[in-house]
Structure formats: structure tokens, C-alpha cells
Amino acid sequence: MADSGTNSSVSMTDVLEALKGIQENQAKLASEVESVSLRLDTLAPPIQVPSLDNGKLSALSAGASASPIRTTLAADEPDSGDTSPTTKKDAAQAQRSGFTSRIILTTYPKQIGINPLPLQWGAPDALTRGPVVVSRSSSTIRRRNGKYGYAKYCSRNLPDFTNTEPAANIGPFPQWGDEKKIVAMDPWGHLAPWLFADTIEKENVDIRPTIAITKAHMKLPELEESVRSGRLVPDGKVCLNAQGELAVTKFAVEPVWYLPGVAERFGIDEGVLRRSLFEHTGGGLTVYCFGDPAKMSDEKCRLALRIHDECNGSDVFGSDICTCRPYLIFGIEEAVKEAQNGGSGVVIYFRKEGRALGEVTKYLVYNARKRGEDRASDYFKRTENVAGVKDMRFQALMPDILHWLGIKKIDRMLSMSNMKYDAIVGQGIPIHERVELPEELIPADSRVEIDAKITAGYFTNGNRMTAEELKAVQGRMWDDIDH
Ligand SMILES: [Zn+2]
């Protein structure tokens, strides 16, 4: 027979447990609400776009200037807890002018109830120094002490933009005035200080470019080899000389968010977006254009395009565990050929290191793979085990740059990614041909990655392996390497 005393004490424990749970949930909720309202206070006050006096430009942007654009500069720097007088002054100035500062603070003016962990930057030992705390998780938000944020522009005064004008003309295109087509960059970002010179001068408002366009020469050993071996033929005037050196027009783009538009692109509530945006967005991008930039938007000219997401280990340091640099080089080579044939070749380089999870996560995954069996069948699972997701990149905003460049169709897409393909086609830009990385350019150790991706839906004209076959694809073990 059951002991009634024990029974009642068990149910009392249950009740207490439940109450404790409710209490914890409430505390968490309160913290979440506070974090949202802090963001709303600090970020993105509604602003009016200054009217333009250039007839052509104002005609195109008329639609945009009629509606308040709630823009904010996305953070691609770490949060900053710098509450030095200068930063405070800048933040106050930014708020007065209706523009948000590039510096995103982890501690805010007027913020109450915080208790940052002590941090002594430059202290000789770790304990004295203290941990850097920047996370916005509910348990940590009041303890953050981030101090390493910085602005891209360090100048305290209005910068001098003499002679920094774009080195090539782009647009304006009708897409620039479509609030649904470009939501993650400022289509006028390359012209901002010149378009708004009056406002800058008369009202002392700080307006800075978020896009810059320049011309450059490139030397890549692979491309020099391509010329030596005859894979590429020098043209001397379009973009490739006899030494295998390239001439290129480069476009650097910093993100600028139109929050209602971004929220709509993702199909989420703007409040939800604001809460998560600043943690989950990567940096900017760079466009490398081969041939005459005017041809990118000319529908009569063919266009070859590679959308490349940053992979520092392979792109710069030649790691052979993935296909990133080979595909990047292949993309450049094909872009050059398209330009030489009278069309346009474009490579767009996005700062989305390690599927936007970063190199720390990436290296942890490498370890897990190499200490395990490193089979293609487990490739995505490994990342999910470590990071909780297999990919943090979202491609939904990627096509903005294509709209900005005036691109209306892509003849040759030098990418196998189904996510990129879907995002571009979903934005109404057709892709006529998809070009996969040729077999001979795939490093042996990167078969695990490429085969896993193909089986997961990446484009191929060749064989898509079964789950069973994928198990047989195995990477090199650490023991196979001469350290
Ligand atoms: Zn890579």
C-alpha cells in the first residue's frame, strides 16, 4: 500500500519544481523583452532620405524618398562596450542626426540594471584581465563587457572624400528604386557623400559611403600558369596581359539594412528580426568585374558569374580540405574568358567564413572529422553536432548586389550551390547554365565535402551518389600527413 505521506511530499516537490520552472521562464522572458527594447531604443530611428538635386537620380529614387527608410548599419564588427566620452558623444551625435553609428554598443547610454564583469584590457595575466563577455543570451546580457568594438572610420571629424569617387559608373538602375529588390545594401552607397554634399555641409551631418569602386591589377600564380599552358589566351586590352596579370574593376560593399524589407524577405516579424540580426549577419562583399563594367547590365552581353563565400584557409592559405580556392580560381578563369569573348565576367566574394559559423567552429569540425572516420555520409552531421546547425549562411539577401549591378540574367553560373541558385532565381533573375567545378580541379581530400554537398542537392551533371556510396568516400586521416 502506498504511503500517503511520501505521496504528498512527492507532489509538493513536483509543484515546487513547476513553480521554479515558471519563475525561470519569466525571468528569461523579462530579459528577452528588455534586450529587444534596448535594441529598439538604440538602433534605427526612422529617418527621411534627404532629397536629391540631381534630376536623373531623384527621379529614380522618388519612390524611395517618399517613404521613411528605417535603415541601420549592420554590425560586422564585434559589439563594443566602449563608453568612453568620445564614443558617447559620437553615439549622441548619431542619434541627434537620425543616423545610427557604426559602433554597436554592448552597453548603452541610459542603460540601467547592468553589472558588467570586470575587464582589464592589457593586464599581464588572464585572471587579472578577466573574460570578454559579449553574448546577448538572456543569462549574459547584463554582464557583457565587450570593449573591442571599433568603427571602420576612425576619424572623429567629417572625412575628406576628395578624389575618392567611384572608378566606374554603375547605374542608376530601376531596381535601385524597388524597395523589395534591394534590402541589404544602400544602392546609393557609392555616391552618398556627393549626393548629400549639401546636407553634410549645411547641417554638419556625417554621411559616408558604404560602397567603393576602384580599379586594380591582380597576379595569381594559377592564372599565370593558365597563360603559360595555353588554357587562357592574353588579350592585352580587356583584362589579361601576356604575363598572366589581370586588370579588374572592384566593388566593395558594406551591408545596410532596410529592416521591413529584410523581414519580408525572410517572412518574419520585424521585431524578431531586430532581435537576431546583429548576431547572425556576416560582413560585406567585394565584386571583381572583368571586362567593361557597363556590360554587366547589358542584356545583349553574356555574363559569367561566381558567387563565392569566404574560406580563408583555402582561399588564402591553400588548404586542400575543401574546393574553395580551386572553385574561386576556376571562377576567375571562366570570368576572364567571358570578358575576352566580349561579355562580362564577375566574381562576388562574400565574407561568410565557414558557412558564416566562423573559423573556430570550422576547425572544431575538422578535428571531429579527422579524429573520426571523415566519411562524406557524416559530413553535415559533424557540423550540426558542433554548431547546432549545418549552415548559418542565408542566401536570401545575396541577390541584392545583382539587382544593384543591374544584372537581369546569368548565362553561366559558376557555382553548384542549390541555395544560391534558388535565391537568385527566386529574385526573378534567370540562370541559363550552371557550371560545376571540373573533376581535375578537385583536391583529393576535398572529395568528402563535394560529394556530401552533391548528394545533399548541389548541382551536378554527373553522378549523384546514394547514401550508401557516400559512406565509402573518406578523407585523409591525420596519421596520413607528415607533420
Ligand atoms: Zn573552404
265 Cα to the center of ligand 1, angstroms:
27
Q: pLDDT tens digits, residue range 62-107?
A: 333 322 223 333 232 333 333 333 334 444 443 333 333 333 434 4
Residue 253, phi then psi, degrees to nearest 5: -125, 125
For residue 148, list its beta bridge partners: none
From the number of C-beta atoms within 10 Å of its C-beta (0-12, 13-18, 19+), residue 144 rates as buried
Mean pLDDT of the region 310-323: 87
Residue 229, phi then psi, degrees to nearest 5: -85, -5
Residue type, 274: R
**Claim: this prediction has a pTM higher than 0.75:** no
Determine the 3-state secondary structure of 243 from DSSP.
coil
String of DSSP letters for 92-158: HHHHHHT---SPPBSS-TT--S--PPP--TT-SSHHHH-------STTTGGG--------S---SSP
**Considering only CA atoms, which of 330, 289, 301, 293 is closest in space to residue 409?**
301
380 Cα to the center of ligand 1, angstroms:
14
23 Cα to the center of ligand 1, angstroms:
45
- Percent of the chain at pLDDT > 70 equals 65
Q: What pLDDT is recorded for position 328? A: 96
C-alpha 163/C-alpha 434 separation (Å) is 40
Q: What share of the chain is helix, strand, coil (3-state, %, to 5)?
A: 40, 10, 45
415 Cα to the center of ligand 1, angstroms:
14
- Give the active site residue among 393, 400, 412, 434: 393
324 Cα to the center of ligand 1, angstroms:
4
- Would you place residue 146 in the very low, low, confident or very high pLDDT band (cuts 50, 70, 90)? very low
Q: 393 an active-site residue?
A: yes
Q: pLDDT tens digits, residue range 400-438?
A: 999 999 999 999 999 999 999 999 999 999 999 999 999
182 Cα to the center of ligand 1, angstroms:
28
- Give the active site residue among 70, 391, 447, 464: 391
Q: 374 an active-site residue?
A: no
Between the CA of residue 464 and those of 414, 455, 456, 468, what are the distances in Å?
A: 19, 6, 9, 11
Q: Is the pLDDT of residue 276 over 80?
A: no
313 Cα to the center of ligand 1, angstroms:
7
309 Cα to the center of ligand 1, angstroms:
9
